[in-house]
Amino acid sequence: PYGYQPLRQAISHYIQATRGVNCHEDRVIIVNGIQQALSITAQALLEKGDEVWLDDPGYNGARGAFAARGAVVRPVRVDEEGMDIQDGIRHYPQAKLVYTAPSHQFPLSGTLSLPRRLALLEWAEAHRAWIFEDDYNSEFRYAARSLQALQGLDHHQRVIYAGTFSKMMYPEFRLGFLVVPEHLREQFAMTKYYTDLCSGYLEQAVLARFISEGHYASHVRRIRKACFERKSALEAAIARYFAGRMAVHPTDSGIHIVCWLSADLKAEEVVTKSRQLGFGIQTFERYCQRPMSREGVLFGFANHPPAVLTEGIRRLAAMF
């Protein structure tokens, strides 16, 4: 149930080198993507009624996984430094687990600051709480290097670190991994075993070679460059065709952008008309647990070349 040993070894070496994660291959468990990682963690660590912190706005998949276990998901506000740790401590001090994506908060793309990382680790150790670190989109950073993974700063083994290959490879490639504290290895492995026995070994074997032979690192560089070009094209098109009507939320990472709308634009209408043009965008509101103060939309850009993005925004603007 731990997964293919050469893949666990390759992942261990890669995330130690690129993310500063402190792990041995024995602590790596292969899973079928981030959603299964969340489900296994919920089954292994949570009981009905346990409180869980979740960024607000935040990832609905995490909310669903914890709620399915019977946990009570508590919204914690987000600002330019990522999750507001003091907000969580002040309102929900007895939480059993914290879900966070410190390298790239979804959907606002912020990075959890170092002081907040240290404050979160200190609180988790003092209250014997767990931290689920979703290292979401950490490889899609276009400017400064991201901070070391939260797990690498953890000296008390309170962090469960999770990663996935579906964003960097393709959505149907459902392989990911967990790095768990030493004393939780067997518990997590057996939870995985009772869920679906194991992940596909053919895919694991291919991915192991892809990483260990250096192809994955080269692939990351190519995809990052392509996505940066697409992001730049999308932002330029919005600035040109929606000047004064859409404001791009600043970010230097990720594969989507958030746009805030002027009063004369309605998010639902923007989404509907975008879909008529073949672009799948979402309202910002769908990721909020509490009422929002302004309307916004999320534009994904990874699937379309720059020229298509530019023309799509031009055509969308002509519909308003």
CATH 3.90.1150.10 domain range(s) in the chain: 217-318
According to the model, what pLDDT value does residue 167 have? 92
According to the model, what pLDDT value does residue 60 have? 97
Tens of pLDDT, residues 53-77 = 999 999 999 999 999 999 999 999 9
According to the model, what pLDDT value does residue 143 have? 84
Beta carbons within 8 Å of 110's beta carbon, 6+ residues apart: 78, 79, 80, 81, 82, 104, 251
Tens of pLDDT, residues 155-211 = 999 999 999 999 999 989 999 999 999 999 999 999 999 999 999 999 999 999 999
88 has a pLDDT exceeding 90: yes
Q: What is the mean pLDDT of residues 215-237?
A: 97
According to the model, what pLDDT value does residue 71 have? 99
Q: What are phi and psi of 141, to 5 degrees?
A: -115, 130
> What's this model's pTM, rounded to 2 decimal places?
0.96
Q: Facing residues of 31 across strands? A: 176
- Alpha-carbon gap, residue 2 to 126, rounded angstroms: 30
Instruction: Tell me if 299 sits within 8 A of 234, measured CB to CB.
Output: yes
Mean pLDDT for all residues in the chain: 96
Tens of pLDDT, residues 307-318 = 999 999 999 999
**Which of 258-286 are b and which e, b meaning 16 or more Cβ less than 10 Å from the residue's Cβ?**
bbbbeeebebeebbebbeeeebebbbbee
Q: What is the mean pLDDT of residues 84-105?
A: 98
> What share of the chain has pLDDT > 90, as a percent?
95
According to the model, what pLDDT value does residue 145 have? 75
Q: What is the mean pLDDT of residues 113-120?
A: 97
HEC string of 16-30?
A: HHHHCCCCCHHHEEE
According to the model, what pLDDT value does residue 63 have? 98
According to the model, what pLDDT value does residue 73 have? 98
According to the model, what pLDDT value does residue 229 have? 98
According to the model, what pLDDT value does residue 182 have? 97
**One CATH from 3.30.1490.20, 3.60.15.10, 3.90.1150.10, 3.30.9.10 for 217-318:** 3.90.1150.10
28 has a pLDDT exceeding 80: yes
CATH 3.40.640.10 domain range(s) in the chain: 5-213
- Alpha-carbon gap, residue 65 to 67, rounded angstroms: 6
CATH 3.40.640.10 corresponds to the domain 5-213: yes
According to the model, what pLDDT value does residue 293 have? 85
Alpha carbon distance, N-terminus to C-terminus of the chain: 54
Full DSSP string of 279-317: ---EEGGGG-SS--SS-EEEEE-TTS-HHHHHHHHHHHH
According to the model, what pLDDT value does residue 25 have? 98
